[in-house]
Structure 1
Amino acid sequence: MVQERKKSQKTRPGPVSRRRFARIAGTAGVASIAGCYGASGSEGVEILGNQNLAQNMDVQAFYDAGVSENISIEITAGPEDTDARAEEFVTLLDAQQEKPDIMVMDNGWTIPFIVRESIVNLEAEMDSEFIDRVKSESFEMLVETGSHPDTGELWAIPFFPDFPTMHYRKDLFRDAGYTDSEFDRWSTDPPSWSEWSASVAEVHDSADVDYGYVWQADSYPGLSCCTFNELMSSYGGAYFGGLDTLFGPVGDRPVTVEEEPVIEALNVARDMVTGSSEASQDIAQCSPNVVFGWTEQETDGAFVGDTNAVAMRNWTYTIPLAEDQFEGGQELGVMPMPYGVPEGEAAYEGLGGTAAALGGWLVAANPNTTDLGSTLEVLRAFHSEEIQAAQLNGPGFLPHQPDLVESLAGEHPAFGDYSETLRIAGDNTVARPVTPVWSQQSQEAYQDINDALQGRKRPTEAMSDLEGAFIDLENIS
């Protein structure tokens, strides 16, 4: 999605309204986890992330990337829960606290901070050559979630992306007669959902495991933002009429959940579990009905912990887990998510084909920092190869530049065999529709989607209900 960029004045953002913003971030607690690394006790630049970042990121990489040795850098750990992290940032910004200087923000809720001008407009403070490089060299959808939806100006720099891929047991497929030629083709050119469901069902019939394809379909935010969002996108469907209106304008965009591609995606998901043949495509029954109550933890346990499933949809963190825990002849295969309709056949531009939900994080500057110059110098380093190598080899975060996914992750002991697959998946991500009302819309969506999947409502009935709820929330924003 190409957005018009407008020049803006260098204004200091005002404090955010906590009462208004609580609808976006949720109401989780705000207790932070103690943990400081780097130049302890300094008055330098503080970066607030999570425990993994605080413990495993090599601060020396910032200096290797060109940050002045006179700038002390401290990494602290805040809440692990993403909603609790958002609420903590609301609290500190509302109080105009000077620390942390840099906030690690979930791409799923950064845009509301941007539209309220609660963080620093980086495009107004940093040179245009650097900003243009960040935009052109990073995963496009990750850049979009750090940009103002009206002006296209960059307010947060990509830190690292996350997205799901399809994991499968190569050894079980080999036993069923599949060969390296199929595995090599799938790694860059995944099959359709029709083909994949049939293959998983075939392998499951002959394998000594309890489950075929396991995925996350519980009634929780991950269903609306991610699992169903990407399946719907692969069939060319959308919540709000495609990618051009993904981030608004709220109240002035179409609600398109009753359209045929969305209904088809619901029927496909049901068919994989129930074998009810409601979709227009041939979809084989290949998933257990327990997935309607499963999140990532349960699928991890089935596929990785118990090695008791043929295939699994999950995020990149599970690749090192499987590589570490598989034993004997167990062999991991990874490919981009299957496609619903071929790319180019969807009604909305950019949809269809393989699609992966966008996760990941951005870094933004606190407008109340007492040293904006040093803060921006450290922020600039996040786009360097030195930092992206350190975050990959330390906390295990993928680079946000597609070229570095192939070059740096290609040398990584866990990701190396799958670097080309990861780049393709990252190039085909779709974000959740992040707006100030998405938190409420998400809840309505995952409840109606789960109802449709479990048969408590017909898909057409569930999406009619969801359309009404979406329109009501759009109109009261």
Structure 2
Amino acid sequence: MADQSTGNRHSRTGSLTRRRFVQATGVAGMASIAGCYGDSGSDAVVISGNQNLAQNLDVQAFYDAGVSEEIDIEITAGPEDTDSRSEAFVSTLDAEQSSPDIMMMDNGWTIPFISRGDIVNLEAEMDSSFIEEVKSDSFDMLVQTASNPETGDMWALPFFPDYPTMQYRKDLFRDAGYTDSDFDTWATDPPSWEEWSAAVAEVHANSDVDYGYVWQADSYAGLACCSFSELMSTYGGAYFGGTDTLFGPVGDRPVTVEDEAVIESINVARDMVYGDGESSQDITQCAPEEVFGWSEPDTDGAFVGDSNAVAMRNWTYTIGMAEGDEQFTDGEELGVMPMPYGRAESEVDAEGLGGTVAAQGGWLLGVNPHTNDMAETLEVLRAVHSEEVQAAVLDGPGFLPHQPDLVESLAGDHPAFGDYSETLAIAGDSAVSRPVTPVWPQQSQQVHQEVNDAFQGNKTPSEAMGDLSTSLSELEDL
């Protein structure tokens, strides 16, 4: 997903000297064409992040974590769009430019950089005890998307995760007879899609808002990587067999989109919109047909901006939006829970699937092999795993820690996330990545086109998944 920011910010650390913090607040000073950074001419260790990071991360935290005060740290803002960022890094690395030294990389496309050997193998450059500490402390899926799928070596450092939750209007649920007991239960033990669809439909019928459950089901990359992938996973479905084959080997893994669980998840989505009873479960109509043409900005506007929906599936940044000073000010009350489950984990065979599942988003940090000072660069990178830096990343830009235990302990004091820290830790632990490989960009396009066609009835689910199986298999064999 594209970079997002969350609501109110506050900082724990003090003012910075110019020597310590050379910070770019936009893309000024960089090439205007995505794909060409150019060397900065600076002796600092340069971290290429996004605008939010460049403007709001207090790098005093790096020094508090033990980075030598002789090392200057510069944060620059690269392209905001994730695809443009990837293209920029390809150009930078192909040209063997020394800057940026550290690159903020989408977990959805880092593995191809690793497979090509474009970034530094951290296990070859950093001590094994630190590497093992990072692997054991961090969200597992972030570590997997930072690692070579063939060797297991970690080539990038987890930076911050992102994943969706189910957000809902407690005030509307209260009006329909639901209580704090229900909300407290859902915060750690979400209902099934059967139960949730019925509850949302009941609340919607009792309210004056236009929409029930809003989510993102347009034919775009987010449908393939995220909203459909997680819905399918809650039923035990997968594109390529299960979690053990997410990252390959390409051409030597099963294509499983015609499996019953995948067809069922399409029928569940259709039942939530049309209520025709196509799935084997008792799914209640609760979502508008518009969702089949909606992405994140549309749902943000309906649920947060206009306060005109009962519930929404969305990323963590919308929690900050809803908790902001100018949002939800007329008695609206936000509830947050992990995503509903399709089938209990014990009822499905696919490895690591079933139960509540969230799509894994988030960002990693890769090291430029052409850096002018590898030792200083790695010293700065090492500090990212400290509590001091993770706290600063949370308090400034508003990104969650990459360590599950710190999500609860640090986010518990955060103005936007504090009430939901336990829920966020559970949701993060349930996250499953998209099947990232060098061929996934082409496969993703095929997935979202066929799934959206099936959603809208342009094809039957069986027809769409049969066509998808053929195209995915052909791409696997290229």
TM-score, normalization: structure 1?
A: 0.92
Q: 1:349 aligns to what?
A: 351
User: Alpha-carbon deviation of 1:345?
Assistant: 1.6
Are the equivalent residues in 1 in contact too, given 2:111–2:437 (CA < 8 A)?
yes
Is this contact kept in 2: 1:170–1:331, CA < 8 A? yes
Contact 1:188-1:335 within 8 A present in 2 as well:
yes
The one-character-per-residue Cα deviations of 1:200-252 (angstroms, maximum 9, x if unpaired) are: 00000010100000000000000000000000000000000001110000000
Measure how far apart 1:121 and its partner are.
0.1
Query: Unpaired runs of 5+ in structure 2?
Result: 1-31
Instruction: Please name the residue that 2:5 is paired with.
Output: none
- Matched with 2:34 is 30
Question: Does 2:228 align with 1:228?
Answer: yes
- The match for 2:417 among 411, 415, 428 is 415
- Match in the other structure for 2:328: 326
Query: Which residue does the alignment assign to 1:192?
Result: 192
Q: 1:316 is matched with which residue?
A: 316
Matches within 5 A, 1:264-279: 264-279=264-279
Query: Shift of the alpha carbon at 1:31?
Result: 6.3
AA of the residue aligned to 2:457? G
| Contact 1:32–1:79, Cα closer than 8 Å, also in 2 | no
Structure 1 residue ranges, 4+ long, deviating more than 4 angstroms after superposition: 31-34
Specify the code of the residue in structure 1 equivalent to 2:192: S
For residue 373 of structure 1, the aligned residue among 372, 375, 386 is 375
Q: Given the alignment of the two structures, is residue 362 of structure 1 paired with residue 367 of structure 2, yes or no?
A: no
CA distance in 2, matches of 1:227, 1:289: 16
Pairing 1:65-464 to 2, within 5 Å after superposition: 65-324=65-324, 325-464=327-466
Q: Give the drift of 1:32.
A: 7.3
How many Å separate the matches in 1 of 2:161 and 2:200? 28
Contact 2:35 2:87 in 1 (8 A): no
The structural deviation recorded for 1:328 is 2.5
Amino acid at match of 1:194: E
Amino acid at match of 2:75: I
Match of 1:25 in 2: none
Three-state SS of the structure 1 residue aligned to 2:103 is strand
The alpha-carbon distance between structure 1 residues 461 and 295, as it changes in their structure 2 partners (threshold 3 A), is same
Structure 1 vs Structure 2 CA RMSD: 1.4
Tell me how far 1:55 sits from its aligned partner: 0.4
Q: 1:33 to 1:374 in 2, by over 3 A?
A: closer
Letter in 2 for 1:223: L
| 8 A Cα contact 2:48 2:102, kept in partner | yes
Shift of 1:343: 1.4
Amino acid at match of 2:60: Q
Check whether the contact 1:192–1:338 (CA below 8 A) recurs between aligned residues. yes
- What is the deviation of 1:347? 1.1
Are 1:32 and 1:77, in contact at CA under 8 Å, matched by a contact in 2? no
For 2:346 and 2:84, how far apart are their aligned partners in 1?
39
Provide the rounded CA distance (Å) in 1 between the counterparts of 2:364 and 2:348.
30
SS in structure 2 at match of 1:165: strand
Distance 2:233 2:35 in 1: 37
Match of 2:469 in 1: 467
- The separation in 2 between residues aligned to 1:33 and 1:95, in whole angstroms, is 10
Instruction: Give the counterpart letter for 1:343 in structure 2.
Output: E
User: Aligned pair in 2 of structure 1 residues 89, 424: CA closer, same or farther (>3 Å)?
Assistant: same
Structure-2 residue corresponding to 1:15 = none
- Give the SS at the match of 1:344: helix
Q: Is the Cα–Cα contact under 8 Å of residues 33 and 77 in structure 1 kept in the other structure?
A: no
* 2:53 paired residue number: 53
Aligned AA (1:211): Y
SS at match of 2:415: coil
Question: Does the Cα contact within 8 Å between 2:37 and 2:92 map onto a contact in 1?
Answer: no
**Percent of counterpart pairs with the same letter?**
73
SS of residue in 2 equivalent to 1:329: coil
Q: Is the 8 A contact 1:143 1:157 kept in 2?
A: yes
- Provide Cα deviations, 1:254-283, integer angstroms capped at 9, x if missing partner: 000000000000000000001010000000
Q: Is the 8 A contact 1:111 1:147 kept in 2?
A: yes
What letter is aligned with 2:317? Y
**1:300 partner amino acid:** D
How far off is 1:394 after superposition?
A: 0.2
CA-to-aligned-CA distance 1:367-404 (integer Å, 9 cap, x gap):
00010000100110110000000000000000000000
Cα distance between partner residues in 2 of 1:152 and 1:31: 29
8 A Cα contact 1:235 1:262, kept in partner:
yes
1:333 and 1:87 mapped to 2: Cα distance? 38
Structure-2 change in CA distance of 1:196 and 1:32 (3 Å): farther
2:34 partner letter: V
Asked if structure 1 preserves the Cα contact closer than 8 Å seen for 2:219 and 2:449, the reply is yes
Contact 2:193–2:341 under 8 Å retained in 1 = yes
Q: Assess, with a 3 A threshold, how the Cα gap between structure 1 residues 359 and 466 changes in structure 2: closer, same or farther.
A: same
Counterpart position of 2:26 = none
Task: Note closer, same or farther for the CA distance 1:33–1:413 as it changes in structure 2 (3 Å cut).
Answer: farther
Distance 2:111 2:85 in 1: 15
Amino acid at match of 2:426: I
Per the TM alignment, residue 29 of structure 1 is displaced from its structure 2 partner at its CA by 5.7
How many residues matched?
A: 445
Question: What residue in structure 2 maps to residue 5 of structure 1?
Answer: none
Tell me how far 1:42 sits from its aligned partner. Answer: 3.8
In structure 2, distance between residues paired with 1:292 and 1:42 = 48
Between the aligned partners of 2:226 and 2:403, the Cα distance in structure 1 is: 22
Amino acid at match of 1:44: A
SS at match of 1:408: helix
Unpaired runs of at least 5, structure 1: 1-27
Query: What letter matches 1:363 in structure 2?
Result: L
Change (3 A) 1:29 1:399: same
Distance 1:65 1:303 in 2: 39
Letter of the 1:152 counterpart: G
Match of 2:29 in 1: none
Query: Is the partner of 2:453 in helix, strand or coil?
Result: helix
**Mapped partners of 2:276, 2:224: distance in 1:** 23
- Asked whether the equivalents of residues 213 and 311 of structure 2 are also in contact (C-alpha less than 8 Å), the reply is yes
The CA distance in 2 between the partners of 1:154 and 1:344, in whole Å, is 31
> Which segment is superposed worse, 323-332 or 84-93?
323-332
